[in-house]
Amino acid sequence: LDYRLSKAWALVAEAGYVNNQSTTFTDNTNGPYWGLGATWKPNRYYSLTGLYGLNYNNATIQWNPSQRTGLIISRAYQGVGYSPGVYWNSSFSHRARFSVWSAGYTQEVTTSQQLASNNLTGIGPDGQPIALDSPSQIIPSDSLGLTNEQFLRKYFNFSVTYLRSHTGLAFAAFSDNREFQDPTQNEDIYGIGALWTWRFAPRTASFLGAGWGHDNLSSDQQNEYWLSVIGLARMFSPDTGGLISYRYYRNDADPADQGFRENRFNIRFSMKF
């Protein structure tokens, strides 16, 4: 809840109740939380928000030195939830004449299934293929586990996209640390990728990408991922779009019997309403 007092000041309140019925995290804590505070925005260049209360406090600073550049840094303490403690989140973006630079850091409690559902390929308003909630669709950042166990995720990503006329070229890199309740299941994943897109018609674009990733699953297993993708995306109307793609995914694991080869063919249709 926000209530504006003046052009520069606003009162802020946040409240909720956490009731998780999961035994995955032994330090899971249920209960209420609330925080009261204010936002100070003396001009368009920066703002500061602070809240303090029961089982919750938060401080967020936002800096916009220009209309093309933005930086947000947030520190929050959560006394309830799957893993109570201090969480940091940040994001940076800068748009140049022909390129877009971005970076981000996220701390959250999540599951592999939730991440997989977020990593969906969609269609942008200009017909270009985009990835939802992911810096690039061509980085193999998912582990092989089929469990729905929650884990504490510390995720950093960096990407730069070069756009000129009908062509786009994107590079991305990430580092993903996952901490489970059982330390033997902890993972350290990192990787890089590149994606080239060509909009050869007003509503149609082709894309070609490749990526590499490394996963230290445990002291007894390591995974080396290689991924390549090729596809075609089209906007049928302002609210509907689709794509067709082929993806080859290979894992060179140690020990070797944990490796695999995957050939995946996708047809996807999306509608916004």
Residue 32's pLDDT is what?
96
Confidence of residue 125 (pLDDT cuts 50, 70, 90): very low
Confidence of residue 136 (pLDDT cuts 50, 70, 90): very low
For the segment 30-46, what is each residue's pLDDT rounded down to a tens digit? 999 999 999 999 999 99
Q: Which two tokens stand for residue 145?
A: 């586990």
For every residue of 145-173, DSSP letters joined together read ------EEEEEEEEEEEEEETTEEEEEEE
For every residue of 120-143, DSSP letters joined together read -EEE-TTS-EEETTSS-TTS----
For the segment 215-231, what is each residue's pLDDT rounded down to a tens digit? 887 667 788 888 888 98
Please provide the average confidence, as pLDDT, over all residues in the chain.
84
For the segment 35-88, what is each residue's pLDDT rounded down to a tens digit? 999 999 999 999 999 999 999 999 999 999 999 999 999 999 999 988 899 999
Confidence of residue 134 (pLDDT cuts 50, 70, 90): very low
C-alpha distances in angstroms, 104 versus 35, 92, 95, 175?
A: 25, 6, 15, 11
pLDDT at 23 over 70: no
More confident residue, 249 or 119: 249
Residue with tokens 């694991």: 253
Confidence of residue 179 (pLDDT cuts 50, 70, 90): confident
Q: Which two tokens stand for residue 4?
A: 């504006």
Task: Please check whether residue 100 is in contact with residue 155, taking contact to mean a CB–CB distance below 8 angstroms.
Answer: no
Alpha-carbon torsion, ordered 120, 125, 126, 130, to 10 deg: -20
**Could you tell me which residues are beta bridge partners of residue 198?**
167, 206
What is the pLDDT averaged over residues 10-23?
90
Residue with tokens 């510390």: 154
Contacts with 57 (C-beta within 8 Å, 6 or more apart), sequence order: 35, 50, 51, 76, 77
Confidence of residue 272 (pLDDT cuts 50, 70, 90): confident
Residue 255's pLDDT is what?
80
Q: Which two tokens stand for residue 209?
A: 């990408």
Residue 116's pLDDT is what?
63
Confidence of residue 22 (pLDDT cuts 50, 70, 90): confident
Residue 14's pLDDT is what?
96
CA distance 223 to 249: 12
CA distance 121 to 34: 36
CA distance 85 to 109: 11
pLDDT at 105 over 60: yes
CA distance 55 to 46: 27
CA distance 62 to 31: 30
Contacts with 37 (C-beta within 8 Å, 6 or more apart), sequence order: 11, 12, 13, 49, 50, 51, 52, 58
What is the pLDDT averaged over residues 174-202?
86
Confidence of residue 127 (pLDDT cuts 50, 70, 90): very low
pLDDT at 4 over 70: yes
* Global model pTM greater than 0.75: yes
Give the β-pairing of 204-218 and 121-123: unpaired
Residue 121's pLDDT is what?
47
Task: Please check whether residue 111 is in contact with residue 85, taking contact to mean a CB–CB distance below 8 angstroms.
Answer: no
CA distance 243 to 236: 11
